[in-house]
């Protein structure tokens, strides 16, 4: 093959161009998948993510209330009541967040007992919702001791369920 310098150069330029196009396509595909909320995850993995997000949101609201009760932040009745209401509103969503195909350790810290003893687990979720509602009701009043005891009731639900159904707790 009689290659001139320019014809030697062309295949190289073409290879580069192909590389760029592939890189661009991969980047765009990544953005599309990301924008669609992780289509690369299996339905079970998506459920794990969903419940982690719910628990994170619940825990953040509990933390907001805790710092108002332990004195490290001023007690703001409206914010406290709103946080309690958010816990009550988010908790019922957890009942759909444990489909059977989402028993996926180690991505999930949920123990197999969640699915084996589902009626008990579901009852505990209902209790969590009720405890959030009681706390929201207490927070709407002016009896701070009632708020404290309703808050302790709420967090007792977290602890006892984790002891039984969550790894490493
Ligand atoms: C009915 C049982 C139950 C109750 C009640 C409960 N949890 Fe959990 N929680 C779990 C299980 C099971 C997991 C593990 C989920 C997983 O990894 O798939 C978990 C995980 C979590 C996580 C970790 C989320 C992550 O991203 O890994 C946090 C934070 C959390 N719970 C906070 C709370 C708080 C705060 C409360 C009380 C207001 C609470 N939970 C009440 C069962 C419960």
Each residue of 46-99: pLDDT tens digit?
A: 999 999 999 999 999 999 999 999 999 999 999 999 999 999 999 999 999 999
Same-domain status, 112 and 123 = yes
Confidence category of residue 105, pLDDT binned at 50, 70, 90: very high
Residues 122 and 146 in one domain: yes
- pTM recorded for the entire structure: 0.82
Q: Are residues 34 and 60 in the same domain?
A: no
Residues 33 and 70 in one domain: no
pLDDT above 80: residue 121: yes
Rounded CA-CA distance 96/139 in Å is: 28
Residues 32 and 47 in one domain: no
- DSSP conformation letters of 136-156: HHHHHSS-HHHHHHHHHHHHH
Question: Is 67 found in the same domain as 150?
Answer: yes
Q: Which residues span the domain enclosing 130?
A: 43-165
Q: How far is the CA of 50 from the centre of ligand 1 (A)?
A: 12
Atom of ligand 1 nearest to the CA of 167: 14
> Which band of pLDDT confidence, cut at 50, 70 and 90, is reported for residue 23?
confident
The verdict on the CB of residue 164 being under 6 Å from ligand 1 is no
């Amino acid at each position: 093959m009689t290659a001139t310098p320019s014809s030697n150069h062309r295949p190289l330029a073409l290879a580069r161009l192909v590389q760029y196009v592939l890189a661009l396509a991969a980047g765009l595909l990544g953005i599309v998948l990301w924008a669609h909320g992780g289509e690369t995850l299996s339905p079970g993995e998506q459920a794990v993510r969903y419940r982690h997000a719910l628990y994170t949101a619940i825990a953040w609201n509990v933390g907001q209330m805790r710092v108002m009760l332990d004195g490290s932040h001023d007690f703001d009745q409206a914010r406290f009541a709103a946080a309690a209401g958010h816990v009550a509103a988010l908790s019922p969503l957890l009942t759909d967040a444990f489909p059977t195909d989402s028993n996926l350790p180690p991505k999930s810290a949920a123990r197999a007992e969640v699915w084996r003893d589902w009626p008990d687990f579901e009852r505990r979720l209902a209790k969590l919702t009720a405890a959030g509602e009681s706390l929201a009701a207490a927070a709407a009043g002016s009896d701070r001791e009632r708020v404290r005891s309703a808050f302790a009731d709420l967090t007792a639900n977290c602890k006892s369920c984790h002891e039984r159904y969550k790894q490493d707790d």
